[in-house]
């Protein structure tokens, strides 16, 4: 037998190409944030007849997908979502996949996308998903707790600003019959206070009374005592993915969804275990 002509030998001849692969480890002792964003969701929401400015089905589906991600990766201490984006915060000491950025972000974004797709019918019922959605993702590192909290504040402030604008915009379009262009013109250069006033004066809406889901986005955390830093779940049993929503599978719920302010100190004082899971 001419061993060198065997497939194993052929393969070994090509195996040098593995040397072109690179590692991309995240710097240790930094918070690892994976932020995902829907690709071309302006079109996606049009095609799927999302309610404007906020579609509760769509937002709930996003959060459902995020919970699936959280129940798969115990190393995530908090997730924050708004509009078509979600940020996942991995503990700064997490060792998941040796902290390889590519591996972490692709696992997160693909699980999010498949969950979004799989759970679609639970939220949109008979309205079919017209085509597979995609999301982009990135990893960002934050060295200090302060940096991390500022990152989350940045996203929540963004949620607020966009929602205030969108609420005004769609009221003008839907109730006053303005064209999109006219509505945008009307809002150009206005301050937040102007927009609050517009909502109150013209639509009798007190912005602060609108649902917190819309104004604050969604914060997913784990109840105190449920973060098990010591046993990271690199290989989960197939039942694990349901822990997030299945109280029977586990005495402790795996995640809790809040619509609350995370910019101020109160939230962090009330939940010290988030940034210090061992507490």
> Which residues in the 25-84 window bind its own copies by CB under 8 A?
25, 27-30, 36, 39-40, 43, 47, 68, 72
| Closest approach of its own copies to the CB of residue 6, in Å | 4
Is the peptide bond between 53 and the residue preceding it cis, with omega within 30 degrees of 0?
yes
Q: Which is nearer to its own copies, 3 or 174 (CB)?
A: 3
Figure out which of the listed residues 55, 93, 111, 173 binds its own copies, where binding follows CB under 8 A: 111
| Binding of its own copies by 86 (CB under 8 A) | no
Q: Which residues pair with 240 in a beta bridge?
A: none
| Closest approach of its own copies to the CB of residue 242, in Å | 8
Cα gap 146→128, rounded to integer Å: 43
Binding mask 260-279 for its own copies (x = CB under 8 A): ---x----------------
Figure out which of the listed residues 23, 185, 202, 228 binds its own copies, where binding follows CB under 8 A: 23
Residue 235: Cβ-neighbour burial (10 angstroms; 0-12, 13-18, 19+): exposed
| Binding of its own copies by 251 (CB under 8 A) | no
Figure out which of the listed residues 60, 93, 147, 233 binds its own copies, where binding follows CB under 8 A: 147
Q: Which residues pair with 220 in a beta bridge?
A: 79, 257
CA distances from 56 to 72, 205, 221, 249 (A): 24, 19, 20, 27
Q: Which is nearer to its own copies, 20 or 181 (CB)?
A: 20
| Binding of its own copies by 230 (CB under 8 A) | no
Figure out which of the listed residues 45, 60, 110, 166 binds its own copies, where binding follows CB under 8 A: 110
Cα gap 159→89, rounded to integer Å: 18
Question: Among positive and negative, which fits the CA dihedral 186, 161, 212, 113?
Answer: positive
Cα gap 262→268, rounded to integer Å: 7
Figure out which of the listed residues 58, 81, 133, 244 binds its own copies, where binding follows CB under 8 A: 133
Figure out which of the listed residues 4, 127, 144, 174 binds its own copies, where binding follows CB under 8 A: 144
| Binding of its own copies by 105 (CB under 8 A) | yes
**β strands within the chain, DSSP E:** 31-38, 76-82, 85-90, 135-142, 218-221, 256-258
Size of the site for its own copies (CB under 8 A): 82
CA 200 to chain centre: 31
3-state percent helix, strand, coil for the chain, nearest multiple of 5: 50, 15, 35
| Binding of its own copies by 20 (CB under 8 A) | yes
Figure out which of the listed residues 142, 199, 221, 262 binds its own copies, where binding follows CB under 8 A: 142
Figure out which of the listed residues 45, 60, 93, 117 binds its own copies, where binding follows CB under 8 A: 117
| Binding of its own copies by 209 (CB under 8 A) | no
| Binding of its own copies by 206 (CB under 8 A) | no
């Amino acid at each position: 037998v001419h061993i060198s002509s065997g497939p194993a030998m052929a393969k070994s001849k090509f195996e040098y190409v593995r040397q072109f692969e690179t590692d991309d480890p995240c710097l240790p002792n930094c918070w690892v944030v994976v932020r995902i964003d829907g690709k071309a969701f302006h079109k996606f929401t049009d095609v799927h007849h999302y309610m404007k400015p906020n579609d509760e089905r769509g937002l709930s589906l996003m959060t459902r997908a995020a919970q699936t991600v959280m129940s798969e990766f115990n190393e995530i201490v908090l997730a924050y979502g708004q509009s078509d984006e979600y940020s996942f915060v991995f503990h700064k000491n997490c060792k998941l996949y040796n902290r390889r950025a590519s591996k972490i972000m692709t696992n997160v974004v693909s699980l999010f996308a498949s969950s979004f797709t799989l759970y679609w019918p639970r939220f949109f019922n008979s309205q079919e998903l017209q085509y597979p959605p995609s999301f982009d993702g990135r990893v960002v590192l934050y060295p200090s707790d302060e940096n991390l909290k500022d990152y989350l504040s940045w996203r929540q402030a963004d949620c607020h600003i966009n929602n205030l604008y969108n609420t005004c915009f769609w009221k003008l379009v839907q109730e006053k019959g303005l064209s999109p262009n006219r509505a945008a013109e009307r809002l150009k250069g206005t301050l937040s206070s102007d927009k609050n006033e517009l909502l109150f004066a013209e639509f009798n809406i007190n912005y602060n009374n609108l649902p917190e889901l819309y104004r604050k986005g969604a914060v997913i955390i784990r109840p105190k005592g449920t973060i098990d830093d010591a046993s990271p779940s690199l290989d989960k049993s197939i039942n694990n993915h349901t822990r997030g929503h299945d109280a029977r599978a586990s005495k402790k719920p795996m995640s809790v969804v809040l619509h609350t302010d995370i910019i101020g100190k109160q939230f962090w004082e009330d939940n010290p275990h988030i940034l210090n899971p061992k507490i």
